[in-house]
Structure 1
Amino acid sequence: MSLLSEAVRAGASPQELERAELPGEYVAAYVQAQDAGMFDGVGDKDVRKSLRVGRVPMPELAPDEVLVAVMASAVNYNTVWSAMFEPIPTFRFLKQFAAQGGWAARHDLPYHVIGSDGAGVIVRVGSGVRRWRVGDHVVVSCVQPDDQEPATHHDGMLGAEQRIWGFETNFGGLADYAVVRASQLIPKPGHLSWEEAACNPLCAGTAYRMLVGERGARIKQGDVVLIWGAAGGLGAYAVQLVKNGGGIPVGVVSSPAKAEAARRLGCDVVIDRREIGLDDRTADDPRRVIEVGKKLGNAIRQKVGEDPHVVFEHVGRSTFAVSVFVVRRGGTVVTCGSSTGYQHGYDNRYLWMKLKRIIGSHAANLQEQWECNRLVSLGRIMPTLSEVYPLAEIGEAARSVQTNRHIGKVGVLCQASAPGQGITDPALRAQIGESRLNPFRDLPTT
């Protein structure tokens, strides 16, 4: 362990952190360019075979960047995509970024340090950083906007050169150290441990933009919101946001354990997808889509008396046609991802003739991330952590997400030596209560 890492773990002062020598290498989880074809023609693209943990060189900081000693991170589905080299190897993203030249050229390497969540301590700041200091405790937004694009100043997500850190950039959060732009930083909620704080930004911020933000569905009191995967990384935050906003969350899940998880978060109605006959083949047959959609619509109406105003959609191909069918006349399907496939088919008559809307949404801009983090800091949004792995076991952690065995978010300890560290506001934590802060910890994950 380097002297800097020892100082971070010991809670050293900012002055001591600045004096500690920066190590030339650090431990990180990464994929290799030479492995990009390893799953060609393979049915089960087991990410445990492609994810590696080892030492990589420490990159130089650009003027607008900080170096964060990552105490904890988390697995997102883009970690799985990176490790499967789908839909394309992420090395394509790195080469495109590097083509800008200058500081971007650093990112084109034969290895890709992945990870788009993180919580930790700032240990170095670039010469152009003004608002952050060595020693600050932070969580990291996954979005790297380009502040020289006009669209960015309207909405950070509209800039064409906006990138997802650790997926479309190198030096991500599943590592002992991460290179982060100052425009990604958010204060860490003091009542949370490192791993609890790390699991929130990407999924909670994404759900916030989709449902609450002015460019999303803009849910209001009383809205019925159908949430696919209500016990998953995104869905578990969606349930909380709908409930907090006075809406009626209706969750679809895939197991009794996940049904219990959704209920603990406040889901008013929970439907097991097996009860409505939804499977991976549903999307291939338009008649089955209508059949499943009718069963789902009937189940929702029996419970709440009306069709959903909004569908929170991130599953993709296997559910999208049902989403378009089941949302009410004039309703909204808001979508941010496609874990079961990007090519969506649906009957357009149910969209145009019933005046429905589809809204595309992606991550969150920095203002939305700060607004969402405020809710976390106030104890209004709870972490959705269910499991915690050491960085050395990132393969198993990512496999749990790949095979949908997980509930909520899967955390990863990086420089933190054990769960439960990093809490600086124990009074608020006690006020909220451990059971509320950890609603999934005693649930089975299958």
Structure 2
Amino acid sequence: MDEIVSAVLSGEATSEDFAALPVPQDYRATVVLADEVDMFKGMPASDRDPAKSLHMHRVATPELGPGEALIAVMASAVNYNTVWTALFEPLPTFDFLRRYGRTSPLAARHDLPYHVVGSDLAGVVLRTGPGVSAWKPGDEVVAHCLSVELESADGHNDTMLDPAQRIWGFETNFGGLAELSLVKANQLMPKPAHLTWEEAASPGLVNSTAYRQLVSSNGAAMKQGDTVLIWGASGGLGSYATQLALSGGAIPVCVVSSPEKAETCRRMGAELVIDRSAEGYRFWKNEHEQDPKEWRRFGAKIRELTGGEDPDIVFEHPGRETFGASVYVTRRGGTIVTCASTSGYQHQYDNRYLWMNLKRIIGTHFANYREAWEANRLVSRGKIHPTLSNVYPLEDAGQAALDVHRNVHQGKVGVLCLAPEEGLGVRNHELRERHLDAINRFRTFQE
């Protein structure tokens, strides 16, 4: 592994040099274990500790198949799907791996008693499998997390509709929180040259998800002038939605949970911010009953900020806690677009406000390759910036996941894998210098 790191850090190794490097037989990886899936049994998800279920193990390097690439992972990042995996919530991901493993002899590699997690990476191609022509050893890449088979016609208009669509590192094995990773070659995209390894690893999943959810015609198809309500606007997903709204000429209304997070949104350029903790919104009277008076109070606050306008688009991902309010405050004919349910999957809302006011609910999930490529291109050109706030070494990936689970973070939490320290991997220093303040604006946040 030291030889691989030395070649990457030299900045001078050729494709032939990387192809000549021996591939290690095993590597360090962050895993959950099949024999521990009941360790939190009977415990509420909010009380579970991902740092207890995520372990650092040495695992065997997987066989490289057709259309695949083996990546030396310099850095990765933590997403909510890694937290869910570590909590074994809503179900153990080993169920995904078993089902995938039954589909083909090659897929059987993924059905193991351990699950290497992580759905982001920035690194270097070490090897490519048969049939790969677009990438070669030594290419510096980031990976998006859509894994598809494309054997069905359903996926050829939008690969997210492929019946065999899976999220790499969540529904497949050999994810990015490790020293090596196995991906399909059609997951790879060029690493933004002006970013460090840890910065480049952080946008992938969330930036692509936000792009499809907000910008793409598969999502809300945001246009200039739209008012966009963004829940968790300084978080991993919302921070990219906020940037995309501002870059696209929309008007974000950012909802956050602390004065520090409100200030981060203002540093991104947002002017309309609601600190929900300061306002004391309680959308649920109890576990079973919501409070429409709080919906109305929330809607009035939005109109106060916007000069009387309701949101054209509500960017939803908290789920159960906020969904009733989201449906209520959306303007007549507007759109609620949802990609997650971090506070609970069982949504409740008053359907009268939906059907009688001709509102729409759209479900989106990650992004297809084209959408991910376009989202990455915006990062590469300095139009959208990483929102990295903290970085941990690989052995502390469990603590990084705990930060995300406890919501003590802003933006994204990064993890160094093979990169020996932060700040490495920059190739375009001129572009970086022009955007340095924007690149670092989340790094001032410390809990």
Q: TM-score, normalised by structure 2?
A: 0.97
> Which of 196, 201, 204 is the equivalent residue of 1:201?
204
The CA deviation at 1:281 is 4.1
Q: In structure 2, what is the equivalent of residue 248 of structure 1?
A: 251
> Which of 131, 138, 143 is the equivalent residue of 2:141?
138
**2:155 aligned with 1:161:** no
Q: In structure 2, what is the equivalent of residue 3 of structure 1?
A: 3
Residues 45-444 of structure 1 aligned to structure 2 (within 5 Å): 45-279=48-282, 281=284, 284=287, 286-288=289-291, 290-305=292-307, 306-432=309-435, 434-444=436-446
* Residues 129-153 of structure 1: per-residue CA shift (max 9 Å, x gap): 0111111010001101222121211
SS in 2 for 1:330: coil
User: Counterparts of 1:177 and 1:279 in 2: how far apart (Å)?
Assistant: 45
SS in 2 for 1:42: coil
**2:4 aligned with 1:14:** no
* Residues 350-408 of structure 1: per-residue CA shift (max 9 Å, x gap): 11111100000000000001111111111110100000000010111000000000000
Letter in structure 2 aligned against 1:443: F
SS in 1 for 2:138: coil
1:283 and 1:317 in contact (8 A); partners too:
no
- Using the TM superposition, name which of 269-278 and 14-23 deviates more: 269-278
1:277 and 1:292 in contact (8 A); partners too:
no
1:195 and 1:413 in contact (8 A); partners too:
yes
2:78 and 2:401 in contact (8 A); partners too:
yes
SS in 1 for 2:82: helix
4+ runs deviating over 6 angstroms: none
Against the structure 1 CA distance between its residues 284 and 277, is the aligned structure 2 distance closer, same or farther, given a 3 Å change threshold? farther
Letter in structure 2 aligned against 1:348: N
Gaps of at least 5 residues in structure 1 are none
Letter in structure 2 aligned against 1:4: I
The CA deviation at 1:280 is 7.6
Letter in structure 2 aligned against 1:41: G
The CA deviation at 1:274 is 2.2
The CA deviation at 1:20 is 1.4
2:389 and 2:413 in contact (8 A); partners too:
yes
User: Counterparts of 1:314 and 1:343 in 2: how far apart (Å)?
Assistant: 13
2:30 and 2:54 in contact (8 A); partners too:
yes
* Residues 199-219 of structure 1: per-residue CA shift (max 9 Å, x gap): 011000000001110111011
Against the structure 1 CA distance between its residues 90 and 279, is the aligned structure 2 distance closer, same or farther, given a 3 Å change threshold? farther
The CA deviation at 1:227 is 0.3
* Residues 72-114 of structure 1: per-residue CA shift (max 9 Å, x gap): 0000000000000011000000000001122100000000000
SS in 2 for 1:122: strand
The count of corresponding residues between Structure 1 and Structure 2 is: 443
SS in 1 for 2:85: helix
Letter in structure 1 aligned against 2:302: I
User: Counterparts of 1:287 and 1:174 in 2: how far apart (Å)?
Assistant: 39
Q: TM-score, normalised by structure 1?
A: 0.97
The CA deviation at 1:54 is 1.8
Letter in structure 1 aligned against 2:295: G
* Residues 135-173 of structure 1: per-residue CA shift (max 9 Å, x gap): 101000110122212121100101111000000000000
SS in 2 for 1:115: coil
1:183 and 1:366 in contact (8 A); partners too:
yes
The CA deviation at 1:273 is 1.1
Aligned CA RMSD, in angstroms, stands at: 1.3
- Using the TM superposition, name which of 294-303 and 182-191 deviates more: 294-303
1:316 and 1:341 in contact (8 A); partners too:
yes
- Using the TM superposition, name which of 38-47 and 327-336 deviates more: 38-47
SS in 2 for 1:317: coil
1:143 and 1:364 in contact (8 A); partners too:
yes
User: Counterparts of 1:378 and 1:18 in 2: how far apart (Å)?
Assistant: 30
The CA deviation at 1:66 is 0.3
Letter in structure 2 aligned against 1:162: Q
Letter in structure 2 aligned against 1:437: I
Sequence identity (%): 54
2:388 and 2:412 in contact (8 A); partners too:
yes
**2:31 aligned with 1:30:** yes
Against the structure 1 CA distance between its residues 393 and 133, is the aligned structure 2 distance closer, same or farther, given a 3 Å change threshold? same
Letter in structure 2 aligned against 1:220: K
1:276 and 1:295 in contact (8 A); partners too:
no
The CA deviation at 1:283 is 7.4
The CA deviation at 1:183 is 0.8
Against the structure 1 CA distance between its residues 211 and 40, is the aligned structure 2 distance closer, same or farther, given a 3 Å change threshold? same
The CA deviation at 1:444 is 2.9
Against the structure 1 CA distance between its residues 328 and 229, is the aligned structure 2 distance closer, same or farther, given a 3 Å change threshold? same
The CA deviation at 1:266 is 1.7
Gaps of at least 5 residues in structure 2 are none
